[in-house]
Structure 1
């Protein structure tokens, strides 16, 4: 049975209220996993909005950031084959083609023939694409730091370690 807010020494939040309500309806079910997972879902939703706002501030959509960031992390000349981009972003081939068409049209990437294989192309980040994705990453880092301001560096490291374990065990 979940501990009440007074047992934890803090005040009730939405998750506490949700768990308390379900505990009354299903007293035989252990709802303690909701104590973590429901909060993770709420944080993930907030993070999604925060990321979208940061990317928007750089004139990018989240999907554009994902593709541009994959290219930017690659060593100069910041290029990948479409297949490598698909692997780096975990999206399908048709979606990648559409995304690359849009990014090319906006001047954020360029396609060029692959010198090792004349039948394929390489996708290269343009200077404008690099400027945009760097700006987006700076905004994201600032906003995420602001979100974490209530935690000490040690608490952040502990949380990161726990989340890393949870991600690998899932």
Structure 2
């Protein structure tokens, strides 16, 4: 099942309520298990939490580290890396994102912020992109996400 439907936390419920057809934003997610992925990616149920150590390893790995990490070197296609995912979502830089929202808890926002810089270097996020950080008490975060999704604009970005 696609991550957009699999995840059922309050922010995902807000996303689906405000944008049920997925037309307001191209959405990606950051997962302790799957790394950075397009929200249309099918995922299985899992139980993993983002820790400070894992967040630091994701940041250090940059745009080319595959998540989940391959268990054996002989499996070169295990996992996907953030650079591949954002390149695909931005049509390989032909349609760079100009409006981005980083939504989630402190560690997630920290990792996503580091990724945005890498995505900008790749040309997949415009260097002058508007980057909103949506983080805080859950009620306020849900309101801010709703407001961001409903903003008018020609080009919607990546709600991570």
Interval containing the TM-score (normalised by the shorter chain)? under 0.3
Normalised TM-score (structure 1)? 0.24
User: Which of the pair has the greater relative contact order for Cα pairs under 8 Å at 6+ separation?
Assistant: 2
Normalised TM-score (structure 2)? 0.25
Larger proportion of strand:
2
